Amino acid sequence: MDLVVGRVVKSHGVRGEVVVDVRTDDPDTRFAVGSRLRGRLPKGRGESEYVVESARDHSGRLLLALAGIDDRARADDLRGLLFLIDSAAVDSGDDPDEFYDHELEGVAVTTRVGDAVGVVAEILHLPGGDTLVVKTDAGAEILVPFVTEIVPIVSTSGIVIDPPDGLLELQ
């Protein structure tokens, strides 16, 4: 499974630099000079590998110069390019309260009393907060607000929920 660590927003200047919307908590490592980045162009236009020649902050945005991209026209062609890494290459580290979405997908969900609910199919990041999409054995989907009051125990080996009245009646 691929994780997006950045997206090319637009070209910058005439020497081929690109403005990148950073989507990683470790941009200094991911976009370090000499790093090899796998990039996927939008609408199935292909994948390529890019090497970072320079990276700098400019007015709060990341500007990258990539090997072989040396003019504005070539940089313009990269608009929408997604920089990807393999999800197997990352983990959430030592913090017991932080997880990547892919680490929780497929994890079993039970109630506090031990009743099986289903497995996490997806995590939605909505304006009102994060939500677990739990797929039941019957094939139904239950949306569970991902807040401590309802989801008190989270680990990659199991998630325990304390559902309010009516939440699980969709089964």
pLDDT at residue 3, as a whole number: 77
What is the C-alpha separation between 82 and 123, in angstroms, rounded?
Answer: 21
- For range 143-166, the mean pLDDT: 92
Tell whether 37 and 106 lie within a shared domain.
no
Task: Answer with the residue of higher pLDDT: 93 or 14.
Answer: 14
Which residue type occupies 152? P
- For 49, the domain range is 2-89
Q: What percent of the chain has pLDDT over 90?
A: 56
Tell whether 18 and 78 lie within a shared domain.
yes
Task: Answer with the residue of higher pLDDT: 166 or 32.
Answer: 32
Tell whether 15 and 82 lie within a shared domain.
yes
Average of per-residue pLDDT values in the chain: 87
Residue 60 within a domain: yes
Q: How confident is the model at residue 89 (pLDDT cuts 50, 70, 90)?
A: low
Domain boundary among 62, 89, 116: 89
- Has residue 170 got a pLDDT over 80? no
User: Which residues in the chain belong to E strands, given as ranges?
Assistant: 2-12, 17-22, 36-40, 47-58, 61-66, 82-86, 108-111, 116-126, 129-135, 141-145, 153-155, 158-161
